[in-house]
Structure 1
Amino acid sequence: MDADFGEDGGAMERFETASLPIMAGQRVRATVLSHHPWGVIAQIADYDQVGASVDMIEQFSRTTVGDEELRSLFPAVGTEIDAVVEQVRRWSPPAWVRLSIRPKDLESFGWPCDFCGRRAVLSAGGDGLVMDVRSNDGPGSHTVIAHRTCLADRVDPGRIGERARALAVGRRST
């Protein structure tokens, strides 16, 4: 764990540093480690210190008829799967990643904007931003999802550069 220093000068442990490069909407490869009644535990390639899971009931139970059909969708243990990061939870150790393997999410992943509630597309080229909210008071963080325009509209109008960066961050210049 990496140590940061709080206001009192004392070291605080930041457990979530290994997961910081991982963000909602990112495509990843993962290996299925085990099956559970609700879904699977997986290991994201190159992120040994970060836990991950796929909630198969949440993702597929509305589209299947019965437990047997749902269980048939579980990827086999040892299988390498394509997935998209749905959520990263860094509230308490260990950091945990919820993955989606829904075909539609692999194509284009969206999540409700925390400002307006409408779907923000977090896949490459989308209209959404992922913000990691942290405090100097201690470890842990929270993710906020926003449309570029929702964030820019909430930045002080006098902060023209900040508004422009909210609209441009991650965009390729042509």
Structure 2
Amino acid sequence: MPDESKLPISELQPDQIVQAAITSHQPWGITANLIAYESVGASLDVIRRGSEPGVKALAMNLPPVGTTIDLAIGALRSWHYEPWVWVDLTCP
């Protein structure tokens, strides 16, 4: 049974602040689960977005896996694998 407290993906918008639970560290950045939204893939590519001031600061001190932090939606993309939608995160 789906979690009734989850919000639909259609409510996600660029520049929106979301809570993200860090799920892994990668050589290029972090992956995360978005709190309160149905399943989407989400990541912050610190190599590609490293010139952005907030991302540069985050990259110098990556939060531990399991930490929940506020991030901003940079872009929404269709994805060729399940979960079908990928959220490109950035720092607010």
Instruction: Give the paired residue count.
Output: 80
Partner of 1:86: 74
Change (3 A) 1:92 1:20: farther
8 Å contact kept, 2:50–2:59: no
CA deviations 1:18-61 (Å, max 9, x no partner) are 42111111111100000100000001111241110011112226
Give SS of 1:76's match. Answer: coil
Higher helix share: 1
Change (3 A) 1:29 1:70: closer
Change (3 A) 1:81 1:90: same
Give SS of 1:20's match. Answer: helix
How do residues 58-69 of structure 1 correspond to structure 2 at under 5 angstroms? 58-60=48-50
Partner of 1:31: 21
Larger RCO (CA under 8 A, 6+ residues apart)? 2
Q: TM-score, normalised by structure 1?
A: 0.41
**Structure whose alpha-carbon radius of gyration is higher:** 1
Structure 2 residue identity aligned to 1:76 = P
Partner of 2:65: 77
Provide the C-alpha distance between the structure 2 equivalents of 1:82 and 1:70, rounded to a whole number of angstroms: 11
Q: Which runs of 5+ in 1 are unaligned?
A: 1-17, 64-68, 107-174
Partner of 1:125: none
Q: TM-score, normalised by structure 2?
A: 0.72
How do residues 109-124 of structure 1 correspond to structure 2 at under 5 angstroms? none
Structure 2 residue identity aligned to 1:30 = A
Identity over aligned residues, as a percent? 36
